Amino acid sequence: MGKTLLILCFFCYHEAMYEALDTRYDFMKYRRVGNSGLVLSAFTLGLWHNFGSSGDYAEMKRMVYTAFDNGIMSFDLANNYGPPGGEAERNFGSILKDGLSAYRDEIIISTKAGYQMWPGPLGRGGGKKHLLSSLDQSLKRMGLDYVDIFYHHCPDPDTPLEETVEALVEAIRSGKTRYVALSKYNAKDARRAYELFSMYGVRPVLDQVRYSILDRAFDDDNLFMVLDSIGMGSAIFSPLAQGLLTDKYLSGDVPVNSRAHENNYLRESVITAGLIARLEELKKIASMRGQSLAQMALAFALSQRSVATVLVGARNAEQLVENIKTLETDLNFSDDEIAEILSYA
């Protein structure tokens, strides 16, 4: 794939002022978000653990620039991403300052609020105080006047949904975000939120949810079908199930620097002989499709109804390019393939 090879060679002189490749839109696929005017790249770069204080800043820049040079124009953050919380936004703000800001009108930047971010009861939730204060903090960390998408990061059973909606509407009307969105909302709550937003003439554009071949909990309430019916899109995170849907664990060993080894959102105890056997069968199906296991998992996520974008994270630019290469492969699945995949999921 010529474009990606050019991109990786580009970083032989990555300390020079960044200038995006003219070919950056030639390969990526783009999708409209629900029935809105928003368009996202099929893949979004998620700036989570590898963009915290322990990460290598030069590699962070390399990943962001590689993403953009390959046509990824959407970058996903949250107030608590790091670690520590806020560090991913600060690092991304530095990358913007170092050169990416020249392309601000070409990129979509999203952030979120809802999980605990500062001490005390106002440091989390879906109330106006937390959401609007958090948005102000996020803008300051990134050096921005506005973000393109502001998410409520997680449902808050202790706050009336009406107030959460009011806060997000205020964020739009203040000019501090172009779009508002939800995260981890089930079908019932997403539909109710949509109806509340409609009272203000505002529409939420996305519901960001965890979904993969191994984790299809949102199938139970037909979330993707409901979102499609009300004109919302969806964004999928963790499409590789924290790395399980790669070749990383097939040997039965837990590699150093893996999430399971670091006990970072994936416990070693999950990696059983039974799971490895199922993963081996899934890898065989992927091989018959001309894909790696990871590529089949990403294609599976992209094939779901209403999906506008799939979030990918990476430890380095090379890993990111391998994920992007999924778009060179078959993104469609026959009914028989789906049935076989799900029999091992």
Confidence grade of residue 17 (pLDDT, cut at 50, 70, 90):
confident
3-state secondary structure of 148: strand
Asked whether the whole model's pTM tops 0.85, one would answer: yes
User: In the predicted model, what is the mean pLDDT of residues 274-286?
Assistant: 96
Burial of 339: CB neighbours in 10 Å, binned 0-12, 13-18, 19+: exposed
Pairing of strands 39-41, 30-32: antiparallel
pLDDT over 60 at 6, yes or no: no
- The predicted-structure confidence for 171-196, as pLDDT tens digits, reads as follows 999 999 999 999 999 999 999 999 99
Burial of 263: CB neighbours in 10 Å, binned 0-12, 13-18, 19+: exposed
- The predicted-structure confidence for 81-130, as pLDDT tens digits, reads as follows 999 999 999 999 999 999 999 999 999 999 999 999 999 999 999 999 99
Name 247's Cβ contacts closer than 8 Å, sequence gap at least 6: 283, 292, 293, 294
Distance between CA atoms of residues 46 and 309, nearest Å = 11
Do 205 and 33 contact (CB within 8 A), yes or no? Answer: yes
Q: Return the amino acid letter for 110.
A: S
Supply the pLDDT for residue 11.
47
Domains and CATH numbers, the chain: 2-8+28-343 (3.20.20.100)
Supply the pLDDT for residue 268.
72
Supply the pLDDT for residue 249.
82
User: In the predicted model, what is the mean pLDDT of residues 27-37?
Assistant: 97
Which of the two residues, 211 and 7, has the higher pLDDT score?
211
Supply the pLDDT for residue 250.
82
Minimum mean pLDDT among 55-59, 148-152, 270-274, 327-331: which range? 270-274
Distance between CA atoms of residues 103 and 24, nearest Å = 12
Name the percent of the chain lying above pLDDT 70.
90
Query: For residue 309, how many other CB atoms are within 10 A of its CB?
Result: 27
Do 327 and 291 contact (CB within 8 A), yes or no? Answer: no
What Rg do the C-alpha atoms of the chain give, in angstroms? 20
Distance between CA atoms of residues 74 and 188, nearest Å = 27
For residue 137, give both structure tokens.
């903090």
pLDDT over 80 at 259, yes or no: no
Supply the pLDDT for residue 1.
46
Minimum mean pLDDT among 134-138, 167-171, 311-315: which range? 311-315
Residues belonging to the chain:
345
Sign, CA torsion 238/239/245/247:
negative
